[in-house]
Structures are given as structure tokens and as C-alpha cells.
Amino acid sequence: MCYRCFKAACTCVCDLVSRVDNQTPVTILQHPRERNHPIGTVRFARLGLSRVEVMVHWPHHGPAPVVATLPPGTALLYPEGEGEILPPDAQPPHLLVLDGTWHHARKLFQAHPTLATMPRFALPGEHRSRYRIRREPAEHCLSTIEAITIALKTIEPHTPGFDELLGAFDRMIDKQEAYIRRREPRRKKCYEHVNPRPA
């Protein structure tokens, strides 16, 4: 186990990620069920962004204290319900992102009435997720690191490094797929040994 990216050592991503000096601080409100997911993408935000905070919170515990401390004008990146497309000239002082499955993100949103009063934005343009190792509800649904990176590229078009961060994400997926391919023959062989096919 790598205790920096919290992945198995054979799929460690630490050497893939370069630091990005993002100017817009990002707070990620994470559902606990997502915290230890082996292919969760918040680890890329932690490794790759210089200004990021991750808060893990159970929705049934009520509002998380960190939400009350966010500066006025904080933009919530949340595509459901009423909201605007994030404009290229947007300059929010802070970005808030919910991390979890769509079901868990809704639970987090519902647990924080304050979120409904924040400026709420969806990503501009049409995007297709690169996250092919994890099933999404629809093609336009993005992973957390993809959503954050696209939002920051829109807000900070002159900040370097966002494309490289997504490139590291791509290489993680390639690495994970290669690992899966190496293991599949062994699993099949073990299964056939226990349950031999009839002649």
C-alpha cells in the first residue's frame, strides 16, 4: 500500500502527478463511502492541486461545519436543478465540489440547505468522461477530478498544468486496466480448477 495516494503499491499514481498552482481554492465535501474507494479520483486533487481541502462528512450528521466557513460568493459545482453554465469570465473566490456517487451527492446536497443559496454552476460545453474503469450513469457524467480540472481551466485559463493533471489521470486508468488484464487469466484458471468444465 502507498500511504500517500492510498492505492496498492503496484498501481501507485504518485510519480504520475505534477503539482498545479491553482489560484482558486477548492473544497471537496466527500461522502464517507467514497473515501476508501480504490479507484476514487479525489486522490488526484490532493496530490495535484496546491489549494485544496477535502472534508469527509456523513449526510445524516447534518451540515458540515466547513460549509459555514466558506467565503461569500463560493461557487457550487453541481449540475442538477437550477444553475448556470460556468462562464469563461467567472471569478468565484472559492469552488465547492461534492464527491460521491450521484445518489450520495444528492444526499450531501440535501443535508446542507445553505448550498441551495450558493451560485450553482454546471460545466461549459459537452464532455465525455475518460473514466472507463468505473461505470457512470450517463456518458456526460464526469469523475470528480475531471469536473474540478475543467472548471479550473475555465476560471483560470492561463494557469499551467491542468492538461498534465488529466494526462496523469489517463495514465492511471491505463495502469489499472493493464493490472486487471494481468490478473484475469489467473482468476479464470483458478475458477476452472475448482469447477472444471464437463467434457
Range in 111-120, 142-151, 185-194 the model is least confident about: 185-194
Q: What is the pTM of this model?
A: 0.82
Any domain includes 103: yes
In this prediction, residue 185 carries a pLDDT of: 55
Give the pLDDT confidence score for residue 37 in this predicted structure.
Answer: 79
Does a structural domain hold residue 128? no
Distance CA 130, CA 168 (A): 12
> Residue 88: pLDDT band by 50, 70, 90 thresholds?
confident
104 inside domain: yes
pLDDT of residue 1: 82
Assigned domain for 151 exists: yes
Dihedral sign of CA atoms 56, 42, 46, 145 in order = negative
Count of the separate structural domains present in the chain: 1
Please give the torsion angle defined by the CA atoms of residues 30, 34, 39 and 40, in that order, rounded to the nearest 10 degrees. -10
What value, to the nearest 5°, has the Cα angle with vertex 40 and ends 10 and 150?
Answer: 115
For residue 131, being part of any structural domain is answered with no
Q: Which domain holds residue 182?
A: 9-121+139-194
Tell me if 61 is assigned to some domain.
yes
Q: Is residue 160 part of a domain?
A: yes
Q: Are 123 and 142 in contact (CB under 8 A)?
A: yes
CA distance 199 to 197: 6
Asked whether residue 134 is domain-assigned, the answer is: no
